Structures are given as structure tokens and as C-alpha cells.
Structure 1
């Protein structure tokens, strides 16, 4: 798994995202937002898997699916 190679910029971006997720988890936890904590934790774990190469950066590229187009 994780056959996609990351450039150093990509790796830094994923590391930054993971760091921000950790900080968001702390904020959500202080607010007692359990569901947000759970979802942020899942994203944090996913980012770690992408960092380590256990998962590809995009499931859409692997399956040929298109993004949903949901704006965040």
C-alpha cells in the first residue's frame, strides 16, 4: 500500500494538517464536543497513515471516483 510517492512539500503539508488536527482535537475536547473529537481523531489517524505510507493520499485516485464537491 501507499505506492504514491510524496514530494517533500506534500509530506510537510500532511504533517501540518496532522498537527492542526491535534490542536483542533484539544479545543473540541475542552468544549465537550464528543462527536467532533471522534471525527477529528479519525482524520488524525488517517493523516498518520498517509504520512507513514500505509494509505494512499487519495482513495478517489485509486478507485477512479470523483470528489463529492462538498465545500468545507
Structure 2
């Protein structure tokens, strides 16, 4: 399913930010963090080009099932 204009713009923005974060992680020598950011960067590019769907499960409104611990 093709991305809507707004979704495409949002994915492009995410990919741009990931590229910047990747450069910072690389400068700091944070190899594992850089690698994980790179994987997300590649994933965003694949979504943009239509090689991967936006959501693997099909329903993007469902929570991932991960418990999130808040700080503070």
C-alpha cells in the first residue's frame, strides 16, 4: 500500500534525523548505537521506496506489547 503524502513526509523526516544521529554516534565512537541507528535509517529508506510495509503486523494502532518504564 503506497504511503500518503503526510506519512511519506514523516518517514522522510525520521530518516533525516536518524542520519544526523548516526553521525553523532559515529563521532562519539558509539559503535553499537551507530549500528542500531543505521538499521533504523535503512528501514526508513526501505519504507520510503516501497520495499517494506509501514507496519509488519498490519494494524499500526495496536501497542507493541512492550512495557515502558518511565523515568523519575
For the aligned pair, the TM-score class normalised by the smaller chain equals 0.7 to 0.9
TM-score normalised by structure 2 residue count: 0.82
Aligned-residue Cα RMSD (Å) equals: 2.1
Structure index of larger Rg: 2
Deviation at 1:5, TM superposition (A): 2.0
2:58 corresponds, among 57, 61, 69, to: 61
More contact order relative to length (CA 8 Å, sep ≥ 6) = 1
- Deviation by residue 1:2-60 (Cα, 9 ceiling, x = unmatched): xx221100000000000000000011001100000100000000000000000000112
- Whether 1:46 aligns to 2:43 is yes
Aligned residues: 67
**Relative to structure 1, is the Cα distance of residues 42 and 8 closer, same or farther in structure 2, using a 3 angstrom cutoff?**
same
Give the ranges of 4+ consecutive aligned residues of structure 1 lying more than 2 Å apart after TM superposition.
68-72
Segments of 5+ residues of structure 1 without an aligned counterpart are none
TM-score normalised by structure 1 residue count: 0.82
